[in-house]
Structure 1
Amino acid sequence: MATAPRAKLTYAEYVALESKGDVRHEYLRGEVWAMAGGTPEHGRIQVALAAEIRRALGRRPCVVLSSDVRVRIDASDRTTYPDLSVVCGKRETSAIDPHAITNPVLIVEVLSESSERADRGDKFAHYRRLSSLQEYVLVAQDAPRIEVFRRSEAGWVLTEAGPGEQLVLTSIDATIAVDDVYFDPTA
């Protein structure tokens, strides 16, 4: 049995949808889909890393933004809600969406079974089109393992950090102990 194609939304319709509802949606060229909720482990790791990044920044002119803030990639007509993003200097927003930032230097995604493939593939391909983006960080939930993809003249270079190691974020000149990100006082 054939199904009817879904109607595409204009970006203005998408922004209106986001302003009214409690469910967040991602957007790609008119296609819209709801985001799944995270696990307690996902939320714990996300907040721990945000706190560590914020602490490492001190009083530098950078801000850590939560997954409530949209990132707009105008070049590919894509809008996402990364788990964390960092903007240094003046925040820039999209001309068509004043609530979506366009100049993060760092984006973090905490991986889950349902999101890992997209976070490593399609989403990363879109993020790479942000000229401001210097580092893309993927954080595992099932083991203390953090991957950092860093922009270089030769392309994107991967470094990894695990238990007992330091997470080095050159985009914000910060070093964070991996063990601090994964520390769980209730375990």
Structure 2
Amino acid sequence: MNVALRTGITIDQFLAWEHRQELRYEFDGFQPVAMPGGTEAHAGIQRNLIIALGTRLRGQPCRPYGSELKIEVAGRIRYPDAFVICTPVPPRSTVVQDPVVVFEILSAGTAHTDVVTKNAEYRATPSIQRYVILTQTDAGATVFSRKGEDWVAEIVQADDVLRLNEIGIEIPLAEIYADIALVGEDAEDA
């Protein structure tokens, strides 16, 4: 049997290549993966999240970022919907290596990657203490956090408070979903 072996690229090769692209790509450890577009609900949830984080963290050493910066996790490059970092970031940096809390907004097109693949990558990254997956179909989140050597999941619902002990803040989940028309279970979303 004749099998052609594909060789992947390195992170440095990916970053040099991506810098020349008009669109954004993640790096899955082997090849570039195009970033899909999002919905209005996705954009609204992301906006509310960044505002809530920014307001609570103003004047603190930890800072929130949206999907304009990349993070390096487990030999991959990702653009999470939001993340918080508590160490200084040089002004010209485009890649951050030690996020503390990471947020992804779940959609039909990215669900498997967010729940399975990225979850494993974030769990394998020691600096990440909490991974929050927000839904677009209803006001809710699945929150993974470190408890000793374990990676523990908890469900946070609409009337609950999202406790982010690692960065010393709490956000009512309803605030993240304020003024958002959720897409519903049967809707097509990005």
**Superposition deviation, residue 154 in structure 1:** 4.3
The superposition leaves residues 120-175 of structure 1 with CA deviations (integer Å, 9 ceiling, x where unpaired) of 10111111121111100000001000121111114012222222221111111111
- Corresponding residue of 2:31: 31
Whether 2:110 is the aligned partner of 1:112: answer no
Alignment of 1:167-182 (within 5 A): 167-182=162-177
- Corresponding residue of 1:147: 142
The alignment's TM-score, normalised by the length of structure 2, stands at 0.85
CA 1:154–1:39: 2 relative to 1, 3 Å:
same
Question: Which is bigger in relative contact order (C-alpha 8 A, separation at least 6)?
Answer: 2
Distance in 1, matches of 2:180 and 2:117, equals: 35
Distance in 2, matches of 1:111 and 1:8, equals: 28
Counterpart AA for 2:158: P
The alignment's TM-score, normalised by the length of structure 1, stands at 0.86
Percent identity over paired residues: 29
Contact conserved, 1:103 with 1:133, CA < 8 A, in 2?
A: yes
- Corresponding residue of 1:56: 56
Whether 2:80 is the aligned partner of 1:85: answer no
Counterpart AA for 1:33: V
- Corresponding residue of 2:68: 68
Distance in 2, matches of 1:80 and 1:24, equals: 10
Deviates more, 1:110-119 or 1:160-169: 160-169
Counterpart AA for 1:135: R
Secondary structure in structure 2 of the residue aligned to 1:106: strand
Distance in 2, matches of 1:186 and 1:110, equals: 14
The superposition leaves residues 86-128 of structure 1 with CA deviations (integer Å, 9 ceiling, x where unpaired) of 0013348xxxxx5211100000000000111111101111111
- Corresponding residue of 1:100: 95
Whether 2:137 is the aligned partner of 1:123: answer no
Aligned residues: 179
Contact conserved, 2:41 with 2:181, CA < 8 A, in 1?
A: no
Secondary structure in structure 2 of the residue aligned to 1:37: coil
Contact conserved, 1:48 with 1:181, CA < 8 A, in 2?
A: yes
Contact conserved, 2:11 with 2:77, CA < 8 A, in 1?
A: no
- Corresponding residue of 2:179: 184
Distance in 1, matches of 2:38 and 2:104, equals: 12
